[in-house]
Amino acid sequence: MKLVNEFSKLAASYLSPAGQYAHLSIMIYHRVLAEQDPIFPREVTAETFDAQISCLKAVFNVLPLAEAVTRLKNGTLPARAACITFDDGYADNLTQALPVLQKHGMHATFFIATAYLNGGRMFNDTVIEAIRHCRDDVLDLDAMGLDRHDVGSFMAKRAAIIKILNRVKYLPLDQREDTVAELARMASDVPLANDLMMTTAQLKALHAAGMDIGGHTTRHPILATLDDAAVCREISAGKEFLEATLGEKVALFAYPNGKPGSDYLPGQAALVRKLGFNAAVSTRPGSATRSSDIFQLPRFTPWQANPARYILAALGNLRHGA
């Protein structure tokens, strides 16, 4: 691993020098699980997160996102600059990720969909948990127009979840909530987990530990499907809730789902600026340069659990400027 890190550091210094030609790599995480999930065995666990952060620290200069944005604009970023971000507000961000971040002395920014704090559940988790606890080996959703699915093994469950999520993700917000609630009723009698997301007390603890908190709307809608008034309501309500809870200005924003063009529209970046944010991040892969739009900064999702592959993928990501 040491050799991989040394090689990676050399390559990253070449691809991402200090100063005005710097590239900024922004990593996205969602959950950090206490232990492996048999349905999603490649989801990050505390153990893999620890190994990844250890490599990230060895190769990159990790800094807080707010500082990185300022230094990107000024042309004063260090070589191999990187930031760590988390989306959505999962409780495991506090219980699993924070101890690892603290162990390595790392800073991260957490983007919170505020409607799901305190016992809520995101639509994707309702689908995942309902199918995890499905009472039969086949889930017949024909009546809802969502087909029949084999859910008799972990692999089949994963395939069914991915198919269903792709179908419901872009439904209008209320219809999406109703559809997954109905799906949950049809799939399972088990009460689904209501402690996946943070409580406000946990959010405050994360903030008190020195981590940054950013906006991510309230109910995580696909902004591209909303009109300007609804977009402003969703974004402002989330921002105001966080500011009232934390007692400080919330200046960073992450677009829900985050793909430019399909998940949010270019004009909506101007709304985010108007609503009082200093910068925003998307999920378009690549690294940011001085010419990047700071209201549409690209981010990199590290899919590779193996730390060497993770670092090599991060190097590959550096080759794509924004």
Residues found near Zn ion in the complex (CB under 5 A): 87-88, 256
Q: Which is nearer to Zn ion, 157 or 216 (CB)?
A: 216
Q: Which is nearer to Zn ion, 264 or 310 (CB)?
A: 264
Residue nearest to Zn ion (CB): 87
Q: Retrieve residue 224's tokens.
A: 């591209």
Q: Which is nearer to Zn ion, 215 or 256 (CB)?
A: 256
Q: Which is nearer to Zn ion, 253 or 295 (CB)?
A: 253
Q: Which is nearer to Zn ion, 50 or 87 (CB)?
A: 87
Q: Which residue has the tokens 């969602």?
A: 30
CB of 203 to Zn ion, least distance (A): 15
Q: Which is nearer to Zn ion, 124 or 202 (CB)?
A: 124
CB of 175 to Zn ion, least distance (A): 19
CB of 150 to Zn ion, least distance (A): 28
Instruction: Give the chain's count of helices (H) and strands (E).
Output: 12, 9
Say how many residues make up the chain: 322
Quickly list H helices, the chain.
Answer: 2-15, 46-59, 65-74, 92, 98-103, 123-132, 154-168, 173-187, 200-208, 228-246, 266-274, 307-318
CB of 274 to Zn ion, least distance (A): 22
Q: Which is nearer to Zn ion, 60 or 110 (CB)?
A: 110
Buried b (16+ CB within 10 A) or exposed e, 280-319: bbbbbbbbbbbebbbbbbbbbebebbebbebbbbbbebbe
Q: Name the packing angle between helices 2-15 and 46-59 (round to 10°).
A: 50
Q: Which residue has the tokens 């005005």?
A: 20
Could you say which DSSP state residue 294 is in?
T
CB of 11 to Zn ion, least distance (A): 31
CB of 1 to Zn ion, least distance (A): 31
Q: Residue 197: beta bridge partners? A: 90
CB of 6 to Zn ion, least distance (A): 35
Other CB atoms within a 10 A radius of the CB of residue 321 amount to 17
Distance CA 105, CA 98 (A): 10
CB of 21 to Zn ion, least distance (A): 31
Burial of 30: CB neighbours in 10 Å, binned 0-12, 13-18, 19+ = middle
CB of 124 to Zn ion, least distance (A): 9
Q: Which is nearer to Zn ion, 221 or 256 (CB)?
A: 256
Burial of 165: CB neighbours in 10 Å, binned 0-12, 13-18, 19+ = middle
Q: Which is nearer to Zn ion, 120 or 152 (CB)?
A: 120
Q: Retrieve residue 142's tokens.
A: 């024909």
